[in-house]
Structure 1
Amino acid sequence: MSGPTRNVWAIVARNFINSFKPRQIRGNLMGKDYIGNDYFEIPADPSVGKRKPTRWYSPPKGQDFQDPIPAEWESWLRGRRLEPPTEEEILKNLAIAQMKKENAAKIEVKRLAEGGSLPSIPEKGHNSYPTYPDFQPGDPNHKIDNK
């Protein structure tokens, strides 16, 4: 063999000793959203084998993870984007969502004024599937034509 061999016991001993070294426990505050969630990150450190950053959020007191987090921050938390969202981006997307709600309400009022009825919510379960008079599920006399 032309290179150094891997000594398993040396690797185990080195990892055991490195486990006693202090680690960063508190993350860097990366931002805050309009709900009040705080977002934190511990950056990646490839020199110690940490390839990906650790990211999490902390909801405001009393919320206990009840509200959904904004899509921009969720994509940052899951690592789909490298940089956290900017305030301008968050405000722009919030304004677009508010405009969509207002437009949907206007369309609904217009539809009801024209005589439309409220949409019916389909029933769930076995009865929600269509039935046909010439075929009933479980009918032993029904034959399938394979032409």
Structure 2
Amino acid sequence: MSEGRSILGMILRNFILSFRPRQIRGNLAGKDYFGNKYYEIPADPRQGKRKPSRWFEPLEKEAFDQELPAEWEAWLRGRRQDAPTVEELEKNLEIMKMKKKNALLIEQEQAVAKGDTKEVEKLSPPTTEFPKYEEYEKYPGQKT
């Protein structure tokens, strides 16, 4: 008989280990600029867990079509080991805003070159002014 492993010993050891408390709640890994929170339970090879468990908690519980930053999505899917830093997220957000602004300017320039004024109006950034009506007074006691 082999002295190293016995089935009864393995069953008894696993039974005793099953009473140890397990980590159910994850460690907060970070937040994104949308307000989502990201959690992780690290891998524990002693318990046969080779990969960490990662998930996120959305800001709005009912919104199933949440937008996630690319850095956090890569972390959730295991494509990157470490969670993104705040500096990295801010830098990439500024780059994204700059690219959107430049794309809008290029589209406007192309529309002007074609001479399409309707396209230029459609591409111009939306204004947030209040509507103006002739029947309402601009200043109290004055019609115009």
TM-score of the aligned structures, taking structure 1 as reference length:
0.68
**Is 2:35 the partner of 1:36?**
yes
Match of 2:111 in 1: 112
**Is 2:52 the partner of 1:53?**
yes
How far residue 47 of structure 1 moved from its aligned partner, in angstroms, is: 1.4
Q: Which amino acid aligns with 2:56?
A: Y
Match of 2:71 in 1: 72
How far residue 49 of structure 1 moved from its aligned partner, in angstroms, is: 1.2
Q: Using the alignment, how far apart are the partners of 1:63 and 1:95 within structure 2? A: 28
Q: Using the alignment, how far apart are the partners of 1:116 and 1:77 within structure 2? A: 47
Q: Using the alignment, how far apart are the partners of 1:31 and 1:95 within structure 2? A: 19
Identity within the alignment, %: 56
Match of 2:97 in 1: 98
Deviations 1:7-62 (A, max 9, x none): 4x765665455444321110000100000000000111111111111100000134
**Is 2:25 the partner of 1:26?**
yes
Q: Using the alignment, how far apart are the partners of 1:78 and 1:6 within structure 2? A: 39
Structure 2 SS opposite 1:114? helix
Q: Which amino acid aligns with 1:113?
A: V
Q: Using the alignment, how far apart are the partners of 1:4 and 1:84 within structure 2? A: 41
How far residue 65 of structure 1 moved from its aligned partner, in angstroms, is: 3.2
Report the CA distance shift for 1:20/1:64 in structure 2 as closer, same or farther (over 3 A).
farther
Deviations 1:71-121 (A, max 9, x none): 000111111111100011001110111011000000000000011777xxx
The number of residues matched between the two structures is: 117
Uncovered stretches (5+) of structure 2, i.e. residues with no partner: 120-144
Q: Using the alignment, how far apart are the partners of 1:63 and 1:29 within structure 2? A: 21
Q: Which amino acid aligns with 1:40?
A: Y
TM-score of the aligned structures, taking structure 2 as reference length:
0.69
Greater share of helix: 2
Q: Using the alignment, how far apart are the partners of 2:13 and 2:96 within structure 1? A: 52
